[in-house]
Structure 1
Amino acid sequence: VLYIKMTVLTTAFFCGYKLGRPWHADFQFNWARMPAAIRRAIANKTRQSPGDRKDMVKAVVDQMLEHEPNPTRAICHSVVRSIIRSHPECFADVAKNGDVLGDGCYSLLQQIKTRVEYKNRNNTLGRRRRERRPRSEVPDEGRAMQRGPVDQYGCVRWGPLEIPPGETEASLDGIKHHLLDIYSKEGMSGAERADPLMEKTYIIQRRYLNSVPPPAIAVLKEEWPFLFSPRGFFSHFTLLTDIPILTKFREALDRKGNTIMRFCQEVKCHQRVKSVLTCFEHEDSDKAACILLLVMAYFKEPKDAIVLEVDTCATATDIKSTITLTSTPRLIVQG
């Protein structure tokens, strides 16, 4: 028996089968399943467009998930490294002078790992990360809520499963109807009174937001109107990420705002940046708004992608009748 086992092992070795070797070590992509644009880029040894690269990442991850439901970062790195070694001119990270940055894998690795995280968001059985701590208090609120594992996007309560103590599905639905009643009577002025009720119903809010297909913004506003109040939005984000976004944003402006301003003032050949700085007055202008516009101008983003300017005296009805509102959120600035 021992002789037979040794013979089998020896034969397997010389035939090229390396027993116990992980699947990703010799993983071969089926490039025929890649988008045509990627195949052309490989054939011509050229870089691909961001859209084509995104499609390529999706195709790579789909093939990886056929072998393992939730590949670790180390596995992703191994797979990406094999791609970079085979086609460095197409996919490697390179500097302006053409030198490869590090091992050339960082940006593609980030994209692939992010895609893996996205595909496994609702896959609790394939989850690898453990909770960092059993319970976490929501900052500035003093109320405890179960914290989940941190995903690639920084969410710690993406899809909570535990109903708040003392509540049932029926009672949560009742609270939701009560919130709608508050909104019908008080409008957004009832946001402060609705805040503790919004926290109680967080689990069914996430369930609704994570549904497939996702709800349209207009429908979401009808179902959960207080999510569109500043207080409700900031509270929901804090529960989702454990980050008090308003506080952090102000701290970031204090720490980095002046650096951004100085950098933009030194940019000599960027006309849009110059235009924003020309309108900025240190005493009277809103520094936060100026920094936001500078960042958008520097990266050549259209201003109306985030900000819609309206008349100083315009009401909500005036805005709806005079401009076309998009389906995605915007900041409406009066003046």
Structure 2
Amino acid sequence: MGLIEHLTSAVGVTNKEDLAFIERDDLQDHLTPIQCRKVLQAFKQRELNFKADTRQTTVPFSFLDPKPTDGHSQFTPPRTQPHSNGLSFTNTQNSWVSQFEIPWDKMPASLSQALLRGHRANPPDRRAMVRTVVAAMQKHCPNPNRAACVEIAKLIVSKYPLTFADTNEEGEQLGIGYYSLVNQLKTRVEHVNRNNVSDRIRRTRTTTELSTTTKTVRCKVDSYGCTNWQPKCLPEGETVDSLEDRRKNMVTIFQSAGPRVVDIPDIDNSMRLTYIYQRHMINSCPPPSTNEIEEQWPFLFTKRGLCAHFKTLTGIDICDRVGQALQAKGKRIIDFFQRQTQNRDIQCLLRDIESDTATMQHSRTSIAAVLLLMKHFLEKEDSIFILADVTTTKASIEKDMSLPATPRLIMLGNTFLSSTKWMVSIEGKVAYVLDEHLGFADALSVFFSCFYVFNIEYQETACATLELIQRFFVRINPEEGTKCTAKTGVSRKTGEVVKRKTTVINNRVSSFLRHLMEFEWKNSD
């Protein structure tokens, strides 16, 4: 799809004011990162220099560098000429947004108190605010588009972040911080216009074939949420040759002593110093297989080596973070589902949770919380978990089971809830066998770390559960979208292959977190 066609049909740009609302996610599939920055900078500068008039103006795409960068396919920007068929905009729908004022004086008294005190808005007040704001918006435009809702939501959250921003329990921002409010505003617009056919009419979108080209370059999803994805400087006192010597020495030690020696200080130190060397191989393009990585870095395929690498990569101690989160939040997730009207599958799982007392309470609660989330998101257990007999070995699993390419957490036990041993598979082979004394939190930590350490995208069949683990348990909350870029997916309701929407945060994740917070607010007394 051409860039201009993408902006008009997929993003919804209809006039020149809409250009100010374009974000990097809207361009990333069509431009290189540098080109994205140039486009956004030009649009911002254009907005600053804009003088209101009614003359038609063409989009200033000519500033883009048409020369391909190393490893990137060439992008040749379209050049529009006067009176051509190129994209042009006029002042239309969103010219009122910059002058729009939120009618705070019409809000409920309890909401006004929350604003003054910096407290979270309770759910009824938040809904009342949305209704009031949409009513005010419709005085300017009967059917505000999503771009207008984004700007209004951004305005509200920037003024009162403590009251309206999307945050987790720790006060950390979720994604862009105003995504759920955008959805509420747009949903309200669509609701009040449900019987107003003339105002609901939109221009038919142009359908295009999805790209099936193989990724040959690194994209931002590979570094998604990472703070140290590709370091540039060698450790002090080290050279390329010295790092290679350390790597060879670790391979020799592993071959003679096995993975148990990962605990010795010399291995810890060598793994820390060679981090830049490890990332250099993992981030190379085309990506290496896990077999190739394991041959060069065998200690990376131990729990200690993987989790230490994850901490350097993201700044997070994954085992502590996940363990504390499951302990603090697992029971509350179960309580949430127990007190809600649920579908038959969730009710059946809740009965199994209540009757299963064969394992330790903490592990069972943690496993149950994740399983309930998968049921809620209509995602099948085998998109994350694989159940195997407790006596099964690594060799027998690789021989008798067909393991998928994306990571799976292999649960050894009679049922998922009664599992007490764990393995993790990647690319059709068992990559990690966890020690018997480790619990489910350790197993989930290793499983989740694989996606970040090895630059693996979330499988579409489990993208909601994985993103919730990322945002709610691990608390990695980047603004730039999700770690699943699949263009198509299987509908959870119809079973048909459908086109997936690109969003800054998974809609189902955002809705669940908002409902969970509302539930806890109602039951806090």
Q: TM-score, normalising length from structure 2?
A: 0.40
Provide closer, same or farther for how the CA distance between residues 85 and 331 of structure 1 changes in structure 2, counting only shifts above 3 A: farther
Counting only pairs closer than 5 Å after superposition, residues 54-65 of structure 1 correspond to structure 2 as 57-59=27-29, 62=31, 65=34
Q: Match for residue 243 of structure 1?
A: 316
Secondary structure of 2:244's counterpart equals helix
Of the three residues 244, 251, 271, the one matched with 1:198 is 271
Partner of 1:144: none
Distance 2:241 2:351 in 1: 57
Give the aligned partner of residue 188 of structure 1: 259
**Given that residues 65 and 71 in structure 1 are in contact (C-alpha distance below 8 angstroms), is that contact kept between their aligned partners in structure 2?**
no
Verify: 1:175 aligned to 2:147, yes or no: no
Instruction: State the distance in 2 between where 1:309 and 1:234 align.
Output: 24
Q: Is the 8 A contact 1:310 1:332 kept in 2?
A: yes
* One-letter amino acid of the structure 2 residue matched with residue 263 of structure 1: F
CA shift, 1:181, in A, is: 1.6
Q: 1:321 aligns with which of 399, 410, 416?
A: 399
Rate the CA distance shift 1:155–1:176 in 2: closer, same or farther, 3 A. same
Q: How many residues align?
A: 246
| Fraction of identical pairs, as percent | 28
User: Is the counterpart of residue 159 in structure 1 residue 230 in structure 2?
Assistant: yes
* Distance verdict in 2 for CA 1:203–1:271, change over 3 Å: same
| Deviation of 1:31 (Å) | 5.8
1:272 Cα offset (Å): 3.0
Alignment map for 1:24-103 (pairs within 5 Å): 32-34=4-6, 39=9, 57-59=27-29, 62=31, 65-66=34-35, 68-69=37-38, 71=40, 75=44, 85=94, 89=145, 93-95=182-184, 98-99=187-188
Q: Which runs of 5+ in 1 are unaligned?
A: 1-29, 44-53, 102-117, 123-150
Q: Distance in 2 between matches of 1:205 and 1:192?
A: 19
- CA–CA distance in structure 2, aligned partners of residues 223 and 64 of structure 1: 31
Deviation at 1:83, TM superposition (A): 12
Q: Deviations over 1:261-304 (max 9, x none)?
A: 11121233323323332222367352222222222221122212
Measure the CA separation in 1 of the matches of 2:92 and 2:282. 36
Cα distance, 1:162 vs. partner?
A: 2.0
Is the Cα–Cα contact under 8 Å of residues 227 and 313 in structure 2 kept in the other structure?
yes
Q: Deviations over 1:183-240 (max 9, x none)?
A: 2223322322333221111010111111122212232222222222111111001111
Contact 1:217 1:327 in 2 (8 A): no
d(CA) in 2 for partners of 1:227, 1:261: 34
The whole-number CA distance in structure 2 between the counterparts of 1:187 and 1:67 is 47
- Indicate whether 1:272 and 2:345 are aligned: yes
Which one-letter code corresponds to 2:6 in the other structure?
Answer: M
> What does the per-residue CA deviation read over 1:72-93, in whole Å, with 9 as the maximum and x for residues that have no partner?
7x959x89xx999499556654
Counterpart of 1:113? none
Task: Go from structure 1 to structure 2 and tell me whether the alpha carbon gap of 1:31 and 1:167 turns closer, same or farther (over 3 Å shift).
Answer: closer
Q: How does 1:110-189 map to 2 (within 5 A)?
A: 153-189=224-260
Q: Are the equivalent residues in 1 in contact too, given 2:311–2:317 (CA < 8 A)?
A: yes
Answer whether contact 2:28 2:36 (CA < 8 A) is retained.
Answer: no
Question: 1 or 2, which has the higher helix percentage?
Answer: 1
SS at match of 1:159: coil
Work out which structure has the larger RCO, using CA pairs closer than 8 Å and 6 or more positions apart in sequence. 2
Shift of the 159–64 alpha-carbon distance from structure 1 to 2, 3 Å rule, reads closer
1:227 is matched by which residue type in structure 2? Answer: L
Structure 2 residue 389 is matched with structure 1 residue 311: yes
- 1:214 is the counterpart of 2:322: no
- For 2:183 and 2:270, the matched residues in 1 are separated by 51
Deviation at residue 39 of structure 1 after TM alignment: 2.6
- Could you tell me which of 370, 374, 382 is aligned with 1:292? 370
CA 1:264–1:216 in structure 2 vs 1: closer, same or farther (change >3 Å)?
same
AA of the residue aligned to 2:246: I
Give 1:302's aligned residue.
380
Deviation per residue, 1:167-195 (Å, 9 max, x gap): 21111111111221222223322322333
Contact 1:217 / 1:328 at 8 angstroms: preserved in 2? no
SS of residue paired to 2:386: strand
Task: Tell me if the contact between 2:326 and 2:366 (Cα under 8 Å) persists in the aligned partners.
Answer: yes
Please tell me whether residue 231 in structure 1 is matched to residue 304 in structure 2.
Answer: yes
